[in-house]
Amino acid sequence: MAFQLRSFCSILGMASLALALAMAGCGGGTPTPPPTPVVLTVAIGSTSVVVPQDGVVAQLAVAIAGPTGTPTVTIDGLPAGITAQFAVTGTGPSGAITFISSAAVPAGIYPATVNVDLAGQSASKDVSVVSAVVAQVLNVTDSTLGISGHLQQFMSTNFQIAEWTQGFFGTGSTTTARQTTLNSLQPQHIRLQALSLAIPMRANTGTASDWDFTLINKTVLPVLTSADRSPEFQIAKAPDWMLDPNTGYLDIANHLNDFATYAANLVLYYNKGGFDWGGTHFQSPSATPITWWGIFNEPNLNGLSATDYVQLYNTVVPAMMAVDPTIKLSALEFSDYGLGGGSEGDPEQYLPDFVSGVTTQVNVVSTHLYGTCNQESLDQDLFDNVPVFVDNLMYFYQTLQGVPSLANVPVWVDENNINADYSDINGMSVCNPGQVWTLDPRATNAFFSAWRPYVFSQLGKAGNQALYHWEYTGGPQYDEVDSNGNTLLSYWVDKALENAFPSTPTSPGPSILALTATDTSSVETLATKAANGTVTVMVVDMAVDSPTDDNGAGDPRTVVVDVSSLGNFYSVSVLTIDAATSPNKGPSGVGVTPAGRMTITLPGYGVAFLTLKP
């Protein structure tokens, strides 16, 4: 029996390792457990790696733990033009991936995967590879831009004065609060345009009731004590009794001299102690005179040929200056579109006749530029129209410079916004008959935070000297503040531009620094240097996510700002305006660590201002 037991135990000992514990009861030894397999693990230093378009290398740390051996690391999803190479560091197997790119790689975000193979095992991690635009700022003024290398473009705004806007400033604390908001915008020569019942001359009966300044002064008087206290009063339209009853336009053949007398009386009222009419004295309650005057609004759309306008200007301005020879004049106030197309908005059809025929004082020539007159215009179309604005501006300057007496006259864009369309009394589009008018929200949302800075940069570099927002308040498609005085995103965009690039008559604008950028199609950059050495770099993300976007969100862009040639700076801050910015509170600047190369990322349409103080 004992033999049989020993034999049975021997059989059990050979059966399997799973019965090892049973062997111990039969007199066997303790077995050695098999080794635990070593599992491959991978971690990456960041879920995103920024690869500059200028060939400067970028690295991504890859931590590898697992079996011994040499890892094989590959990356899937890289766009053509970005190369990546892994190398172990130290004794391995961990290491880093080195990325190199060029401007040939479109800016944007590319989803990629890091794959690691080692000793028969595999692991992977997802990573976003960001092809970053590089803007290199040079420590030299670009004298080909702006006005002899200076950005001499101030920001301002417009008030359309009529019965539908008369209550905006209100009285008492409301007036004070709304003036404070307006003052914070720092506009210069705020433009005042009186229409409809705000036109102070109502009739021509020779009685005192012919004149009434009550409605117009509800806006003029608060503005006269706001901002630079030097608004531009645009004599936009003639009183009704001077209009041709068949066309509704100024009857220049019969009322040109009447219009000149009307304009002279306005100068008397605001600047020279007033005038008497029908036994009553009419005089402004304000002691602040109005220096700047605009002569007519968009004559090309309001019944005046170029010849008519020259005749009007040459008659009206001398009558005004006879009252006050210190006033300054804004001429033309042109509705500008369709350069070279031969339409009524084509300045080639109007400007040559004006410059060849004007015989009196011209202090500035003004034009109006809008991105579209149709809510169905695509985002990309609106960005594409901005270089057309520059073409129009350059045409103005070239034409003025052909006449010695006008060669140094500046050009102002004193109306500018995205969409010029508005609703008629039946809710239909004025620009597009038969189409229902629809509010275009792009003038007050994140799209505007890219579009307006792009316009500001392009026009300022081309020598424009004033950019006016249309309009401060009065219509939800255009406003900087609503009818209750609440700020909109457009307000903060314009305020940031004025603060970042101030230009006043006593302190001309900063120098425009030479700058190179690896992408100018989806990112706009502008760098300036003030007299105190402060450098401001503006970065605009105008990248459209889809070519069919109409009021889209934009596409993210990362920009590496290279300021290494400028020396050291004591402090650096960045202010960003985009979809995340509160329209009520506005943006807040944050400090960043000074470095020779600093990175700015915008998640879609937006603008960032990088301020570097020595």
Mean pLDDT in consecutive groups of 10 residues from the start of the chain, 614 residues: 37 38 48 82 97 97 94 96 95 94 96 97 98 98 97 98 94 97 98 98 98 98 97 98 97 98 98 98 98 98 97 98 98 97 97 98 98 96 98 98 97 98 92 92 97 98 98 92 96 98 91 98 98 97 98 98 96 98 97 97 98 97
> Quick one: which H or E segment has residue 538?
strand 535-541
* Distances from the Cα of 111 to the Cα of 6, 279, 369, angstroms: 67, 80, 40
**What is the C-alpha separation between 600 and 106, in angstroms, rounded?**
17
Question: What's residue 31's pLDDT?
Answer: 76
**What is the C-alpha separation between 91 and 97, in angstroms, rounded?**
16
Count the residues in the chain. 614
Question: Tokens at residue 567, please?
Answer: 């020396």
What CATH number has the domain spanning 44-132? Answer: 2.60.40.10
> Quick one: which H or E segment has residue 334?
strand 328-335
407 phi, psi to nearest 5 deg: -60, -30
Helix, strand or coil for residue 501? Answer: coil
Question: What's residue 460's pLDDT?
Answer: 98
Tell me the residue type at 275.
Answer: F
Strand partners for 578: 606
Question: What's residue 8's pLDDT?
Answer: 36
**What is the C-alpha separation between 317 and 292, in angstroms, rounded?**
12
> Quick one: which H or E segment has residue 3?
helix 2-15
> Taking a C-beta distance cutoff of 8 angstroms, is the pair 480, 469 a contact?
yes
Residue 249 backbone class (left: φ over 0; alpha: ψ -120 to 50; beta: rest): beta
Q: What would be the CATH architecture of the domain defined by 515-613?
A: Sandwich (2.60)
Tell me the residue type at 17.
Answer: L
143-509: which CATH topology?
A: TIM Barrel (3.20.20)
pTM: 0.93
Question: What's residue 547's pLDDT?
Answer: 97
Domain with CATH 2.60.40.10 in the chain: 44-132
Q: In degrees, to the nearest 5, what angle opens at C-alpha 304 toward C-alphas 303 and 307? A: 155
Domain with CATH 2.60.40.1180 in the chain: 515-613
**Omega into 498 within 30° of 0, i.e. cis?**
no
> Quick one: which H or E segment has residue 184?
helix 172-184
Question: What's residue 91's pLDDT?
Answer: 86
**What is the C-alpha separation between 113 and 129, in angstroms, rounded?**
9
Q: What share of the chain is helix, strand, coil (3-state, %, to 5)?
A: 25, 30, 45
Domain with CATH 3.20.20.80 in the chain: 143-509
Question: What's residue 29's pLDDT?
Answer: 61
- Kindly compute the dihedral angle of the four CA atoms of residues 480, 483, 486, 492, in this order, to the nearest 10 degrees: 0
